[in-house]
């Protein structure tokens, strides 16, 4: 049986205009969506128009016609939400997170009443569920619905809140969080107040209705009350939020927000450079203070000290050290020095974890810091997270089998060769796009995929892999498949069997037919099927290589560390109930 269908953990996240300041801010929404995907949720992302866009579109409408009808205004204003949804879909694609954009028209979200302030009545929830089972993420424009004559209508100002709650109710009262630029509902406006005023940890529907309607749409609150639907209101990457429901009310005094954490980068190439770019959009949370590179003359990052000495930067005492250099010996020493200096470490380096993972974990534990390496397996394909999530379940089952495409470069090469490139051209293009290792023979020879199997075995507590069987990808190996069956594709498949004893593993070239989970996996994508001792299987898809998918995964580890730090601070602050 498939865990993809069996798992009912769904969260509806609503991104309001206050967090969608511009097209680039949609990247913050990607981080939030990926955070929940890592935790094993299927995500429905409801988006508002970008900040100010609805007003601009309505003003445009009124500049054309003074007495414009609600219907006509709806068809213009809807463009704001449809654009945000489309661009978020593109941002998710760039980050390698599978998703599909569904519109209110395509999901038959029907509403009736005033076309500018309509009330939703029904939706084809099965279409959303099917898309969630298939992709994991559905992006849905808020605020907009269609009437019985298939015309666009709007759900009133702030109506994306209502869209989100309506979807959550239609999906069986799924978890729902409205994401705003505040940590929740406060007793009074927290703007500019230090420390902030008491925040509602729990608020009643009436508490929410007592606000002026600019934070939550009142119509949405009344809808939630009518469906006995509790929901959450909070900020991006938050550890605390307000839960709004039947109550009772519970206020807490929280500490002032922490100062930004410092990050040192070891490596500023494909991965390190992408991580810098993403982190630089969050100066309130993190500050990159130093970066180590080989050739200092080729690098300049605004506000960052550049050094040619990776070991010195590693030991410089940053809160978090990100290792993205590649290789084994220098990264190993650098990670050791960083952990010894009390820094948390995030690395994308599967070779060093495959070879020295247990030793590095022991050192991290002895220093009370964390060693995270999600990006080392599958870029933005959350394979290690899926293993950790199952391990955290009561009576956790054992991982018995892994079968997957774990190397983006070889899959990209196979795709390009299938479309007419020569083998050498395809490899050069994989290098140009930043998929390949510094030494691409590690990709082609199966060693990179084997490193990832070793990291998986470590994460699942399966022990070491001895005597793996490797079939390198080469022109000659491909020639052996010239007469493969019709309707098959060639894949370089990594496998691991751990039914009993020490795990057996290998990487082999094979012809895969259309019914196989590995068939539909083009370009540099990765697909991994995990089988468990309780008979469940779990197929995980995403992008396996390249700057943005890999950086997304590294940033997700960094944001996890920020949340953990924040949670520890909040716990030591002894937040007492104040009402
Ligand atoms: P790049 O070659 O693009 O970047 C490596 C960076 O590290 C460069 O900035 C380089 O400096 C610096 N560097 C290398 N050696 C040293 C050293 N001894 N001292 C200081 N700086 C050094 O590699 P990637 O970013 O592609 O890969 C980095 C790591 O991420 C590797 O472990 C790789 O396996 C892993 N990874 C990569 C993925 C990808 O798609 N590219 C995906 C998942 C993981 P300079 O610029 O001066 O040469
Ligand atoms: N070279 C690796 C690949 C990078 O192609 O999969 C991602 O780990």
Domain regions of the chain by residue span = 3-181, 183-255, 261-379+549-564, 390-544
Q: Which has the closest alpha carbon to 14: 84, 93, 116?
A: 84
What average pLDDT score do residues 481-486 get? 86
Distances (CA, A) of 570 to 39, 262, 457, 566: 21, 19, 35, 6
Query: Would you tell me which CATH number, out of the four given (3.90.1150.10, 3.40.120.10, 3.40.47.10, 3.30.360.10), belongs to the domain 390-544?
Result: 3.30.360.10
DSSP string, 85-143: HHHHHHHHHHTT---EE--TTTTT-EEESSTTB-EEEE--HHHHHHHHHHHSEEEEESS
Strands 242-245 and 250-252: unpaired
Q: Say how far apart CA 85 and CA 326 lie, in whole Å.
A: 36
Instruction: Answer yes or no: CATH 3.40.1160.10 is held by domain 3-181.
Output: yes
Q: Which ligand is nearest to the CA of 351?
A: 1
Of the listed ranges 250-264, 272-286, 445-459, the one predicted with least confidence: 250-264
Q: Which residue has the tokens 């080469």?
A: 474
pLDDT tops 90 at residue 7: no
For every residue of 404-445, which 3-state class applies, written as one string?
EECCHHHHHHHHHHHCCCCHHHHHHHHHHCCCCCCCCHHHHC
CATH number for the domain formed by residue range(s) 261-379+549-564: 3.40.50.720
Catalytic residues: 452
Of the listed ranges 13-22, 90-99, 217-226, 548-557, the one predicted with least confidence: 13-22
Same fold flag, 3-181 and 261-379+549-564? no
Q: Which has the closest alpha carbon to 236: 25, 411, 51?
A: 25
Q: How far is the CA of 172 from the centre of ligand 2 (A)?
A: 39
Q: In a 3-state reduction of DSSP, which class is residue 465?
A: coil
Classify the phi-psi angles of 228: left when phi > 0, otherwise alpha if psi is within -120 to 50, otherwise beta: left
Asked if 299 contacts 575 with a C-beta cutoff of 8 angstroms, the reply is no
Q: How far is the CA of 545 from the centre of ligand 2 (A)?
A: 5
Tell me, what's the pLDDT at 4? 64
Token pair for residue 359? 């030793």
| Ligand 2 atom closest to Cα of residue 545 | 7
Token pair for residue 463? 């022990």
Q: Which residues, judged by CB distance below 6 Å to any ligand atom, belong to the binding site of ligand 2? A: 379, 407-409, 435-437, 443, 448, 544-545
pLDDT tops 80 at residue 6: no
**Mean confidence (pLDDT) of the chain:** 94
| Ligand 2 atom closest to Cα of residue 410 | 5
Residue 393: CB atoms within 10 Å: 10
On the CB side of 225, how many CA atoms lie within 13 Å of its CA? Answer: 15
Token pair for residue 224? 């939630």
What is the rounded radius of gyration, in angstroms, for the C-alpha atoms of the chain? Answer: 25
Q: How far is the CA of 333 from the centre of ligand 2 (A)?
A: 23
Using CA positions, which residue lies closest to atom 48 of ligand 1?
A: 294
The pTM score is 0.95
Q: Which ligand is nearest to the CA of 347?
A: 1
Tell me, what's the pLDDT at 579? 40
DSSP string, 284-349: TTEEEEEEE-S-GGG---TT-EEES-HHHHHTS--SEEEE---SSHHHHHHHHHHHHTT-EEEE--
Strands 537-543 and 525-532: antiparallel
Surface-to-core class of residue 572, CB atoms within 10 Å of its CB (0-12 exposed, 13-18 middle, 19+ buried): exposed
pLDDT tops 80 at residue 564: yes
What average pLDDT score do residues 446-472 get? 96
| Ligand 1 atom closest to Cα of residue 547 | 40
Tell me, what's the pLDDT at 577? 44
What average pLDDT score do residues 510-522 get? 96
Q: Taking the mean position of all CA atoms in its chain, how far away is CA 208?
A: 30
What average pLDDT score do residues 1-20 get? 81
Q: In a 3-state reduction of DSSP, which class is residue 25?
A: helix
| Ligand 2 atom closest to Cα of residue 375 | 8
Q: Where are the beta strands (DSSP E) in 197-245?
A: 199-204, 231-234, 242-245
Q: Which ligand is nearest to the CA of 412?
A: 2
What average pLDDT score do residues 106-119 get? 96
Q: Say how far apart CA 201 and CA 575 lie, in whole Å.
A: 11
Q: Say how far apart CA 361 and CA 317 lie, in whole Å.
A: 19
Q: How far is the CA of 123 from the centre of ligand 1 (A)?
A: 48
pLDDT band at 22 (very low <50, low <70, confident <90, very high): confident
pLDDT band at 209 (very low <50, low <70, confident <90, very high): very high
Percent of the chain with pLDDT over 70: 97
Asked if 137 contacts 29 with a C-beta cutoff of 8 angstroms, the reply is no
Q: How far apart are the first and last CA of the chain?
A: 48
What average pLDDT score do residues 68-77 get? 89
Tell me, what's the pLDDT at 299? 94
pLDDT tops 70 at residue 508: yes
């Amino acid at each position: 049986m498939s865990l993809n269908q069996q798992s009912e953990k769904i969260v509806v996240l609503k991104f309001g205009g206050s967090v969608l300041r511009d097209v680039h801010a949609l990247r913050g929404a990607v981080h939030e969506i990926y955070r929940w995907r890592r935790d094993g949720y299927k995500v429905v992302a409801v988006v508002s128009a970008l900040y100010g866009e609805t007003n601009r579109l309505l003003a445009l409408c009124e500049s054309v016609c003074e007495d414009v009808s609600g219907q006509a205004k709806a068809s213009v204003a809807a463009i704001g939400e449809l654009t945000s949804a489309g661009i978020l879909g593109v941002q998710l694609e760039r980050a390698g997170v599978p998703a599909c954009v569904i519109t209110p028209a395509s999901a038959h979200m029907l509403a009736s009443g005033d076309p500018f302030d309509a009330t939703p009545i029904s939706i084809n929830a099965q279409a959303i569920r099917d898309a969630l089972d298939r992709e994991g993420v559905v992006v849905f424009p808020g605020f907009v619905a269609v009437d019985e004559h298939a015309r666009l209508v709007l759900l009133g100002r702030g109506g994306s809140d209502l869209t989100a709650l309506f979807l959550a109710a239609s999906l069986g009262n799924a978890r729902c969080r409205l994401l705003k630029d505040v940590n929740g509902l406060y007793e009074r406006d927290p703007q500019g107040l230090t420390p902030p005023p008491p925040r509602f940890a729990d608020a009643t529907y009436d508490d929410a209705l007592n606000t002026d309607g600019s934070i939550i749409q009142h119509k949405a609150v009344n809808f939630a009350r009518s469906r006995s639907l509790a929901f959450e209101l909070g900020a991006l990457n938050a550890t605390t939020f307000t839960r709004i429901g039947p109550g009772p009310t519970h206020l807490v005094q929280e500490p002032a927000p922490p100062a930004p954490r410092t990050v040192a980068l070891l490596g500023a190439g494909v991965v390190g450079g992408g991580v810098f770019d993403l982190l630089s959009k969050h100066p309130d949370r993190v500050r990159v203070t130093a970066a180590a590179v080989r050739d200092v003359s080729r690098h300049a990052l605004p506000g960052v000290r550049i050094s040619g000495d990776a070991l010195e930067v590693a030991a410089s005492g940053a809160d978090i050290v990100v290792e993205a250099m590649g290789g084994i010996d220098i990264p190993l020493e650098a990670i050791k020095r960083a952990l010894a200096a009390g820094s948390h470490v995030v690395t994308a380096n599967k070779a060093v974890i495959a070879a020295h993972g247990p030793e590095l974990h022991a050192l991290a534990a002895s220093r009370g810091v964390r060693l995270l390496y999600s990006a080392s397996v599958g870029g933005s394909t959350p394979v290690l997270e899926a293993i950790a999530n199952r391990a955290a379940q009561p009576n956790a089952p054992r991982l018995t089998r892994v079968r997957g495409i774990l190397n983006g470069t070889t899959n990209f090469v196979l795709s390009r060769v299938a479309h007419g490139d020569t083998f050498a051209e395809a490899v050069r293009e994989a290098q140009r796009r930043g998929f390949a290792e510094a030494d691409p023979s590690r990709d082609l020879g199966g060693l990179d995929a084997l490193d990832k199997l070793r990291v998986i075995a470590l994460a699942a507590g399966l022990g070491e892999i001895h005597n793996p069987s490797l079939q390198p990808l080469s022109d000659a190996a491909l020639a052996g498949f010239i007469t493969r069956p019709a309707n098959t594709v060639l894949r370089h498949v990594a496998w691991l069997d751990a039914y009993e004893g020490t795990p057996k593993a290998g990487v082999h070239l094979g012809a895969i037919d259309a019914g196989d989970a590995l068939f539909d996996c083009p370009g540099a994508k990765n697909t991994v099927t995990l089988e468990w001792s309780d008979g469940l299987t779990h197929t995980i898809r995403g992008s396996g290589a390249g700057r943005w998918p890999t950086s997304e995964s590294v940033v997700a580890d960094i944001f996890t560390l920020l949340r953990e730090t924040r949670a520890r601070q909040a716990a030591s602050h002894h937040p007492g109930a104040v009402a």
